[in-house]
Structure 1
Amino acid sequence: MGLLVITAAAVAYGAAAGLLLPRAAYRLSVDPDARWRDRCPEGHPIPGWLGPPHCRGGGAATPAHRYGTAPAGTATLAGVLCGVLGAAVGGRPEAAVFVAAAPVLLLLALVDLAVQRLPDVLTLPLAGALALGLGAAALLPGAAGSWTGALTGGGALAGAYLLLFLLNPAGMGFGDVKLALALGVTIGWYGWGVWAAGAFLGFLYGALYGLALVLRGSAGRRTAFPFGPFMAAGALTGVLLGGFGA
């Protein structure tokens, strides 16, 4: 019964958070040298960062309209992600940290898919929040991971991505390196086996997607595509393995 309550709470939180993501995704989806969007496609000011992507309009001359990602889709996806995490980790204290971070990772994925960019305003605070959150979780009874392992995993994965970036800057963005820091903290929590699985699966998912594009004729061997969503998917799989295993 307790697990059902936790899963339901995670789904409810995820769905509520997902409803708020589309406006932020639209505002953040700009080129690296551009300012964050502060107006809708029709030129109306956007109030705040969180909420549904629509303008109320001002009468017949400026009717209400929508833009960006549909809130129903982000709410559904965020609810599913948080619910699966809640079911996997259960009542252990780290569950709150992982569930809370899931909508932020979804937001990063939406922005990366739109403009192949992972904003520092999200990646770096996320890494810090995960490190602090898991540090607090490690102090509570029932925690199934290691804070030291989380910090070491974050440094190791970020270091590995930094090396790949230095070897081939055209094949990987520096935003991926910063995201790797947060994801490494997450998968390092459950040990090196989970860390290795999460890191490997991120590359595998990305490679399969790239291969599918090439086979369909939609891209060439050197075509760039957003890698952040696949990194996040690999880390999510690792956390699920670690959560169910613990």
Structure 2
Amino acid sequence: MWSLSYAIGMGILGSLTIADLQFRKVPAEILGAAGIAALVYQAVCRRESLWMILGGAAVGAVFLFLSWATKEKIGYGDSLAILILGVFLGLWGLVRLLSAAFALLALFSVALLIRKKMRRRLALPFYPFLAAGYLICIYGGGYL
């Protein structure tokens, strides 16, 4: 169920979640270190095939393009995390994680709409949903 790599991934996502909630920014140093760690992990352990790693990275690249195209309505930090998670988890692990994270985000948004707390300019931090989706994938299926 849990492996050391998953625990480290959760620790990184947890620290980035706290930074995102407090400051609405994430430290580039942590993202850089996480990116290097994901590359080293795949080079040493090679849990996924090269095509799955490249597929996960491609999904992250699409999100980086969306960050640029929407003038950062989707933050670059969120997109970089998706890119790093794509390298770490591979394509299908990333798809499962993003499905869980977006489902949670949708449920939270509906709850805000029902309570009439949603405003046009409201920007929700995405890292808490990424971290929660990560936990759901680990506990739900035991595999990302």
Match of 2:27 among 119, 122, 137: 119
The whole-number CA distance in structure 2 between the counterparts of 1:127 and 1:240 is 24
The structure whose residues are more often helix, as a share, is: 2
Q: Residue in 2 aligned with 1:219? A: 118
Match of 1:146 among 45, 48, 53: 48
Q: Unpaired runs of 5+ in structure 1? A: 1-87, 90-94, 139-144
How many residues end up aligned between the 2 structures?
144
CA contact (8 A) 1:127 1:182 kept: yes
Q: 1:185/1:165 Cα in 2 relative to 1: closer, same or farther (>3 Å)?
A: same
Q: Residue in 2 aligned with 1:99? A: 7
Match of 1:229 among 128, 132, 144: 128
2:100 is aligned with 1:201: yes
TM-score with structure 1 length normalisation?
A: 0.51
Q: 1:136/1:239 Cα in 2 relative to 1: closer, same or farther (>3 Å)?
A: farther
Q: Residue in 2 aligned with 1:39? A: none
TM-score with structure 2 length normalisation?
A: 0.81
Q: Unpaired runs of 5+ in structure 2? A: none
The structure 1 segments of at least 4 consecutive aligned residues displaced by more than 4 Å after TM superposition are: 239-242
Match of 1:158 among 60, 71, 83: 60
> Relative CO higher for 1 or 2, CA cutoff 8 Å, sep ≥ 6?
2
The whole-number CA distance in structure 1 between the counterparts of 2:99 and 2:138 is 13
Q: 1:107/1:242 Cα in 2 relative to 1: closer, same or farther (>3 Å)?
A: same
The whole-number CA distance in structure 1 between the counterparts of 2:44 and 2:131 is 23
The whole-number CA distance in structure 1 between the counterparts of 2:19 and 2:105 is 17
CA contact (8 A) 1:165 1:171 kept: yes
Instruction: Show CA shifts across 1:116-135 (max 9, x none).
Output: 21221111211210221233
